[in-house]
Amino acid sequence: MSLDELEKNLYRREQGDEKKKKEIKTQSQIQSSGKRIFFDRNSSLSPLWRSDFSDKTEIKPNSKPKWIKWLGFASLTAVLLAIFSAGFYFWKSFGPKGIDLKISVSEDKIIVGVPFKAQIDVSNLSGEVLKNIKLSISLPDDLILLKNGNGGKVITKNIGDINPGEASREELELVPVSGKTSIRLLEVSASYEFGSIGSEFEVKKNKEIITDNSAISLDLETPQKVFSGEEFETLISYQNNSAIQISNASIEIFYPDIFTFKESSSKPSNKNNNVWLINPPSDTKDSFSITGGVIAPANSFFEIKAKVLMEIYGKEYIIEEKTASLSVEPSPLSLDIFLNEQKESKILPGDNLQYTLSYVNNTSLGLKDTIITAKLKGEMFNFSSLSGNAFFNSGNNTLTWNAANSFPLSLISPGGAGSVSFSIQLKNSYPISRLNDKNFTVKVSGQIESPTVPEGITSSKTVSLAELENKISGSVSIEALGYFRDAKSGFINSGVWPLKADFATEFTIHWIIKNYSTDVSNISVNAFLGPGVRWTGNVKTNTSESLEYNDRTQEISWNINKILATKGVVGDPIEAVFQVEATPSILFLGKGLPLLGKTSLKATDEFVGEDISATATEVLTNDLADPTVSKDEGVVK
């Protein structure tokens, strides 16, 4: 090849390289424009371009190589792993294993009613300072905090900060107060923060507190069977099972209503004779007995209950209780009391009461020298009216029958029966002088005894008791009083006076209610206006309930919810005042005009549980309670 040909070839190659560069530059400009461009194979593009495209080729701008995508995925995975590692680190350092919470108790054997100590240890097992540590302690209902406690069930303790490797201890003095054998759950949670992070963490722990005994054990000893009216003994034994003296404790006995207390070997601490204060030293036993009797039907059952109570922060808790069940056997010598031949009898002041004491010998043995006594109790008894063949002791209001005044009592044959009786009158009025003089009753307590003792009865004599108490019904009174001049009540009446036919005159009528010895409820008062009498609508009452008037029937009604006992007897009565206008017709010439018909009152006696009633006479113009007018002025002219 000559030198000239070599130059030409080199020149053509350089031109081709420059042209190709221009085409590549053009392609780059197209891609950077962000548009999709389609080329036709038959277009006048350079062969270089035509060779790289099919008939229609889509160029996607911003297409990335695959290695860039893989690089992004790897970066994201690395970030997630870093976050997981950091979270695991914090959980490891400051989670449950960063703090240790332990609960322990000072006693292996926990006794109901005896204090014990619970220790709560908080330890920092992490490598960082744990800040603002707070304990929350939840106590069950029957676990009481003693020192610095107020009876609350959630206790909060602020511990503060604990350095790495250090610990803090909180001590509680607690006492279980019920349930001889039971499991209680002491719940403790600790919340804390970690230094600069400021996040709060919490760990919880529970501790079972198991009790298997009471500080004071209790036992009741009674006969399984008793006779109605016969006295029997109940022995109450108690023991301190702890190593400390128990204080602020008491034993309370719950008698049935049919039980009558007579005496006890240890003096009770209350008037109801059913509470005894005890302070037993450690590991000691003691006891006391109660004597009494029941009056109940044969073959019935009753219970006597005893409870040991402990006072903490002014509240009493039951730490032990026992119940004894007894049955009532037919008495060998039975006694029963009747009033007017009945057990239940409605009685009122002034009534004459006829009492009968009936007895039966239920044994196969004759009972000699029998004595019957009846003790009378009640403010309403009029002892001066007492009648009967018994000996009467006015010092203790007791009647006595024996063979001297009732010969059949000298020997009551097997299966024999008999009775004694007396009568007495009630006072005519209730002895009310104070607000609480209410709910009067009369009671007769009877006893029959014989020195003859049937076989199988461990007693020095055969005894039976009986009792009858009756409620005295209450009483309510109502007055209806009319006035022409009544400025004192706030009404100014006008009209023609003396009364004149076909002319109108105004009057006021007062309803005055007095209640005596019992609370009454659902009181209704009703009356009708007389002929030619019109309701004016002017009313005053000293109760929250007002009067109602039915203009179609001319009936006035007053409904009162409740009136307390002694209202009006002690203090002011219940009163309503209303105004009417009367226009008498000529039919009443020479007569008084009835302003108001008979007033009726009905109510419920809450003490006796029966309905009671009262009435007031009609109000006439010629029979007003107004002292400023005469009867003749009230006659229609």
Q: In whole angstroms, give the CA distance from residue 226 to residue 294.
A: 8
Residue 176 has pLDDT above 70, yes or no: yes
- Which one of 3-12, 223-232, 353-362 scores highest in mean pLDDT? 353-362
Q: Highest-confidence range of 181-195, 232-246, 398-412, by mean pLDDT?
A: 398-412
In 451-585 the beta strands, taken as DSSP E runs, fall at: 462-471, 476-483, 505-515, 520-528, 533-541, 547-550, 555-563, 574-582
- Backbone CA torsion sign across 386, 391, 394, 396: negative
Average pLDDT over every residue of 350-372: 95
Q: Residue 52 — very low, low, confident or very high, per pLDDT cuts 50/70/90?
A: very low
Average pLDDT over residues 325-342: 90
Tell me what pLDDT residue 153 has: 81
**What is the predicted pLDDT for the residue at 406?**
95
Mean pLDDT of 570-599: 96
Residues 270 and 261: beta-carbon distance below 8 Å: no
What CA–CA distance (Å, rounded) separates 389 from 448? 17
State residue 93's pLDDT score.
Answer: 45
Predicted confidence at residue 72, as pLDDT, reads: 61
476-634 has which CATH code?
A: 2.60.40.1170
Query: In the predicted model, what is the mean pLDDT of residues 161-172?
Result: 90
Task: Name the percent of the chain lying above pLDDT 70.
Answer: 83
- Cis, peptide link before residue 498, omega less than 30° from 0: yes
State the average pLDDT for the chain.
Answer: 85
DSSP 587: G
Q: Token pair for residue 612?
A: 């009671």
Residue 555: the pLDDT is: 97
Question: Which alpha helices (DSSP H) does 444-514 contain, by range?
Answer: none
Band (pLDDT 50/70/90 cuts) for residue 527 is: very high
CATH architecture, range 99-214: Sandwich (2.60)
Q: pLDDT tens digit string along 64-120?
A: 555 555 566 666 766 566 555 555 444 444 444 578 899 998 887 888 888 889 999
- pLDDT of 210 above 90: no
Cα radius of gyration rounded to whole Å, the chain: 51
CA distances (Å), 460 to each of 280, 409, 451, 457, in order?
Answer: 35, 19, 7, 9
Pairing of strands 547-550, 533-541: unpaired
Tell me which DSSP letter residue 455 carries.
T
- Per-residue pLDDT at 605 exceeds 60: yes
Distances (CA, A) of 528 to 35, 136, 595: 108, 73, 9
Give the 3-state secondary structure of 158-193.
EEEEECCCCEEEEEEEEEECCCCEEEEEEEEEEEEE
156: Cα separation from own chain's centroid = 30
CB 366 within 8 A of CB 413: yes
Whether 613 has a pLDDT exceeding 80, the answer reads yes
Kindly report which listed range (9-13, 164-168, 420-424, 628-632) carries the lowest average pLDDT score. 9-13
Per-residue pLDDT reduced to its tens digit, 397-451:
999 999 999 999 999 999 999 999 999 999 999 999 999 999 999 999 999 999 9
Sheet of strand 200-214, all strands in order from the earlier edge strand to the far edge? 110-112, 200-214, 181-194, 130-138, 154-162
Cα–Cα distance measured from residue 124 to residue 129, given in angstroms and rounded to the nearest whole number? 8
Residue 1 clears pLDDT 60, i.e. is over it: no
| Element spanning 20, H or E | helix 3-32
What is the fold, at CATH topology level, of the domain defined by 216-329? Immunoglobulin-like (2.60.40)
- Domain 216-329 and domain 333-471, same fold? Reply is yes
What top-level class would CATH report for the domain 333-471? mainly beta
Mean pLDDT value across residues 545-552: 95
Of the ranges 239-243, 389-393, 486-490, the best mean pLDDT one = 389-393
What is the distance between the alpha carbons of residues 105 and 111, in angstroms, rounded to a whole number?
13
Q: Please check the confidence at residue 324 and state whether its pLDDT lies above 60.
A: yes
Using DSSP's 3-state secondary structure scheme, residue 565 falls into coil
Confidence category of residue 25, pLDDT binned at 50, 70, 90: very low
pTM beyond 0.85: the answer is: no
Supply the pLDDT for residue 400. 98
Mean pLDDT of 562-571: 95
Write the burial class of residue 70 (CB in 10 Å: 0-12 exposed, 13-18 middle, 19+ buried): exposed
- What pLDDT, on a 0 to 100 scale, did the predictor assign at position 74? 62
> Per mean pLDDT, which of 6-10, 175-179, 579-583 is the most reliable?
579-583
In 10 A of CB 204, how many CB atoms? Answer: 12
Q: What is the mean pLDDT of residues 13-18?
A: 50
Mapping DSSP to helix (H, G, I), strand (E, B) and coil, where does residue 105 land? Answer: strand
- Domain ranges for the chain: 99-214, 216-329, 333-471, 476-634
**Residues 175, 144 contacting (CB under 8 angstroms):** yes
Confidence band, pLDDT 50/70/90 cuts, at residue 285? very high
- How far is residue 218's CA from residue 244's CA, in Å, rounded to a whole number? 17
Range of weakest confidence among 169-183, 216-230, 434-448: 169-183
Confidence category of residue 143, pLDDT binned at 50, 70, 90: confident
Query: What is the arithmetic mean of pLDDT over 362-388?
Result: 95
